Structure formats: C-alpha cells, structure tokens
Amino acid sequence: MLHNGQVAIGADGQATMGNYVAKSNVKKIRKLQDGKIVTGFAGSTADAFTLLERFDEKLNSYGGNMKRAAIELAKDWRMDRYLRRLEAMLITADKDEILVISGTGDVLEPDNGIAAIGSGAMYAQSAALALKKHASKLSAREIVEESLNIAADICIYTNSNLVIEEV
C-alpha cells in the first residue's frame, strides 16, 4: 500500500494444503536490495521462493531498477517452460511504487496504491480502499494491518499472524 508518502506491505502467516492449515506462521514478506525493496508472495511456497530468487537476480542485473526487473521476470515467467508451471504471484514495492507480477506476463501498478494477492485479497483490498478513503489519518502500516485483520475475520484461508514491512 502506498499512502501519504508511506509504503507498507503485509501478509498473513497461513499456508493451506487443500482444506486444512498446514502452517500458521509462514513469513510471506521479504526485503531485498538492503531493505530498499519489499516483496510479498501468494500461492505455492516453493514456487514463490523460486520466483523471489529470480526477481532478486533480475534486480541485481538491472541495478536495483524494480520496474525493469519486474518486467524482465514477467517475460521469463511467461516464456520459460519451467517457470510457466509455477503457481504463485508477487507484490513488490519500493519508496515510489507498488507492482503486482503474475505468471501471465502481467506487471500491474494499481491506480489507487493498493494491491492484494492471495485467498483473502479481495477482502483485504476492499477494507484498505475503505480505510484509505474514510480514515486518511491512519498510516500505511495501520491500514495494512487493519485490512489484513478484517480479511482474517472473513476468509477461512487467512489468519491474523501478520508480518508487515515498510520501505
């Protein structure tokens, strides 16, 4: 979330396998480039780690240029036979922008500074939109936290073991 010059990304800690909770404290947020970029994932954990490694390599190749690295990762992800089978999505943010990267070749920058992926995405995104519009005194971190807690109350695939990072 980008809000009032602040950037925060958060995630719950729940990993499910089918209809049961496999782990309740997964860390789905990573800081890259000495903390200048924060990235979150949803989907298959092993697949997400593969994508995070590739994204970090792209960041290093392109001098920390997040948008360029995201575009190059999305191109590889779509074209490479191995990567095409990966089932995960990434959100990445630096101090200026937030991007959603998908395996279909998408690199999306949300119009409103709010992006969400994963099972509880629409619940968290809806809550964040409302909070950003009607509670503008809240910080980006506070909006992310409250939005994820609302999603956890509604979505059975989301819990309230939160990790929130800021850039």
Domain range annotation of the chain: 2-7+25-166
Report the pLDDT value the prediction gives residue 24, as an integer from 0 to 100: 95
Token pair of 125, please? 């995104």
pTM: 0.92
Q: How far apart are CA 26 and CA 100, in angstroms?
A: 20
Q: How far apart are CA 30 and CA 151, in angstroms?
A: 21
CATH superfamily of 2-7+25-166: Aminohydrolase, N-terminal nucleophile (Ntn) domain (3.60.20.10)
pLDDT single digits (tens) 103-134:
888 999 998 999 999 999 999 999 999 999 99
3-state secondary structure of 53: helix
